[in-house]
Each structure stands twice: as C-alpha cells, then as structure tokens.
Amino acid sequence: MQRSVSLCALALASLLIVCALLSLVLGAMNLPVYDSLLIVVDKLFGANLSQLEDYQQIVVLELRLPRLLLAVFVGAILAQCGAVVQGLFRNPLADPGIIGVSSGAAVGAIVAIVVFPAVWGSWTIPTMAFVGGLLTTLLVYGLAQSKSGTSVLILLLAGVAISAFAGAAIGFLSYFADDASLRELNVWQMGSLTGANDANLWLAFTTMVLLMIAFQRRAQALNALLLGEPEARHLGVDVEQLKLQMIILTAVGVGVAVSCSGIIGFVGLVVPHLVRLATGPNHHFLLPLSALLGAVLLMCSDLLARLVVQPAELPVGLVTVLLGAPFFLILLIQQRKNWS
C-alpha cells in the first residue's frame, strides 16, 4: 500500500511538471520552446537567458503562467473538497458541483457582481461566493439527513433544484446586467481561467495551502467517519464539530474556486474516485493525491480548452463537464444495484 502511494505520488508529480511545461509552450501564438521556458527561469532568478521579444514575454509570463498556476490551485482545491464531501456524505456521487454548492456559490458571486459590485472591494465576490456556497451546503446537508444516514436520492435532487434555481437567478440577473457584467456572468456560468491575476492567484494559493493543512489534520477522523457516525463517535471523534468544520472548509474552498474561475464541474467527482481506485479510501493519502491529480486534470483541461478551437478558446468548465459527465453516468450505473 505504502509503495503504491509513493508510486502514484511520483507519477502525478512528474505529470504535473510535464503538463506545466506544455501549458507554457503551447498556445495560439507559436513561440520558441526553449525561450518560453527560459523566460520563467529568468523571471525567477533574475537571469537573462531568454531571447523572447517583449510581447512574447507578456504572453508567457502574464497570460500562460498565471493561468496554469490558477489551474493548479483551483484544481487542487476542487479535488480535495470533492474528496471531503464524498467522505462526509459517505457517498462517491457527492461532488460540490452535483449537489449544488458550486451553483450556490456562483449565485452569491453574481449577486455581488450585479447588485453591489464593490462593497468590500475585491473581497466582495469571494465573500459572497463563500456565503452562497455555505448556505447551499447546509441546506443540502440538512435535507439529505435521515435516520438511516444520508439519502443519495435527496442529495442529487436537491442538487438539481439548486442548480435550476441558480440558473434562473443568473438569467434573471443577466437581464438587468450591463454589458461588462454580462461577460463576467458568462464566465461564471461556464467556468474559465482567463481571469487569473495576482490577487486571485494569491487568494487561491493561500486557500489551497490552508485547506491541505486543515484537511490533513482531520484525515484520521474522516477515516473514522466512513465507519458511520455513531462508530466515529465511539472512537472519540467529535462528529458534530468535524462535520461543521468540513462543511465550512469546503464552502470556503468552493467559494474561492468559484470566485476565481466560475463553476468548474466534475473535478471534485472524478479525481477522488480515480485516486481511490489506485490507493483506497484512506484520507491520509486520498487528500494529497487528489490535490495533485486535480491540479493535473484542470491544467490538461485548460490546455485542451485553449488548443482545440485555436485561435479562439472554449471555457474550461465545458471541457471538464464533457470529460466528467460520462464518468458520472458510469458511476451511476455501477451504483444502481445498491439503490433499490
């Protein structure tokens, strides 16, 4: 077990580096490969090795690099949140996107854009996204709790209802929005990493690190929770506190992710599932490996989004949905026998 975990970690880390290099080099504008990489070295160490023109440097340093970093941070956040939500609900079909948390966060963000754009400055959108995400998580969790545990049916239906409501709210608000807001609304609905800038990179990076630490500290308790709530309580876990912590942390994670890049679905569903296939459900390994694979997956998706319809590009959220939705269907079919 220990060995397969190390192998996975190594493979994913290498993949992460390869994808990052590809993301720097490939794109609508053809740039010399070596120089594109060297310019990052120049930037980091103050050297002067690259021979890129100024406008080419801007493409690499101010467009491609921030975007790939945002993909890494948001992918890692979403995948970890997915793993935690699945553990919390004890169900592999739970995902912040599917159960409506991302939609709730998006509604919060959109209310912030359209209704009161700058009450708390640049914190308005992330804060409102967090509030929206938190309220929906609490709502869904409250609805899905029953005596015999969490009801998957209600979980998924609540997700449908909330997503529909969010869709309507977005439509309603876009009716009143001006042109600039309208463009932003589109980004929120479909998910895109084009908005990467220093502010949201720092926000996403800090959130990713904080979540990694906080989740890892509760990994054993999350493992115990998989046995069932009474069993976890008998093992000395403060179950109510754990659940509340995890709900708030995932709402923070999803809120930040949504405020940086809009709704990017299915990363939180697919990634933990794949990691579990390789290393089992132990959260000590599941959480860090999910973060790694989430980063890789979102970076690849964004690369695809940039490359397939050059020189235009797809919203990355579309790509993850195209990859994730069939996966979700397969999971549903596998689970079907446990339902009736």
Partner 1 sequence: MLQLTNVSFKPQGKLLLNQVSISVKAGEVYGLLGANGAGKTTLLKAISGDIKASGSITLYGKALAQWNRRELAKHLAVLPQSSQLTFPFSAREVVALGLTPLSLSKAQAASLIDEKMHATDCYSFADRAYPSLSGGERQRVQLARVLLQLSQARHSPLLLLDEPTSAQDLGQQHNLLRLTQTLVKKEGFGVVAILHDLNQVLRYCDRCCLLDQGRVSAVDSPDKLLSDERIQQHWQYQPQRVVLGNGQTALI
Rule CB under 8 A: choose which of 92, 100, 104, 159 binds partner 1: 92
CA Rg value for the chain: 20
Q: What's the CA gap between 90 and 67, in Å, rounded? A: 33
**32 forms part of the interface with partner 1 (CB under 8 A):** no
CB closer to partner 1, 221 vs 298: 221
Q: Is 280 an interacting residue with respect to partner 1 (CB under 8 A)? A: yes
252 closest CA partner among 216, 213, 290, 210: 210
DSSP 71-94: HHHHHHHHHHHHHHHHHHHT-TT-
Q: By rule CB under 8 A, what count of residues binds partner 1?
A: 25
Categorise residue 50: left if φ over 0, alpha if ψ from -120 to 50, beta otherwise: beta
332 part of the interface to partner 1, by CB under 8 A: no
Largest pairwise CA distance in the chain: 66
Specify the residue, 131 or 237, whose C-beta has the smaller distance to partner 1.
237
Of the listed pieces 114-122, 280-288, 290-298, 300-308, which binds partner 1 according to CB under 8 A? Answer: 280-288
From 12-20, 86-94, 155-163, 188-196, span contacting partner 1 (CB under 8 A): 86-94
Q: End-to-end distance of the chain based on CA atoms, in angstroms?
A: 34
Contact pattern for partner 1 over residues 149 through 188, marking x by CB under 8 A: ----------------------------------------
User: Angle at the Cα of 202 (from 200 to 207), degrees rounded to 5?
Assistant: 95
**Which of residues 81 and 303 has its CB atom nearest to partner 1 in the complex?**
81
Site membership for partner 1, residue 276 (CB under 8 A):
yes
CA pair distance 16, 13, nearest whole angstrom: 5
CB of 232 to partner 1, least distance (A): 8
Helix (H, G, I), strand (E, B) or coil at 145: strand
Closest CA to 74 of 297, 313, 321, 295: 295
333 binds partner 1 (CB under 8 A): no
For partner 1, the binding residue among 180, 228, 330, 334 (CB under 8 A) is 228
Pick 95 or 302: Cβ nearer partner 1? 95
CA dihedral 8, 33, 299, 264 (to 10 degrees): -170
CB of 102 to partner 1, least distance (A): 23
Binding to partner 1 by residue 235, rule CB under 8 A? Answer: yes
226 scored as a contact of partner 1 (CB under 8 A): yes
Q: Which stretch binds partner 1 (CB under 8 A): 59-67, 106-114, 223-231, 311-319?
A: 223-231
In the chain, which residue ranges form alpha helices assigned H by DSSP? 2-25, 33-45, 54-58, 65-89, 101-114, 124-144, 152-176, 179-190, 198-217, 219-225, 229-234, 239-261, 267-279, 283-307, 316-335
Q: Does 217 bind partner 1 (CB under 8 A)?
A: no
Residue 224 binds partner 1 (CB under 8 A): yes
Which residues are near partner 1 by CB under 8 A? Answer: 1, 87, 90-92, 220-221, 223-224, 226-228, 230-238, 276, 280-282
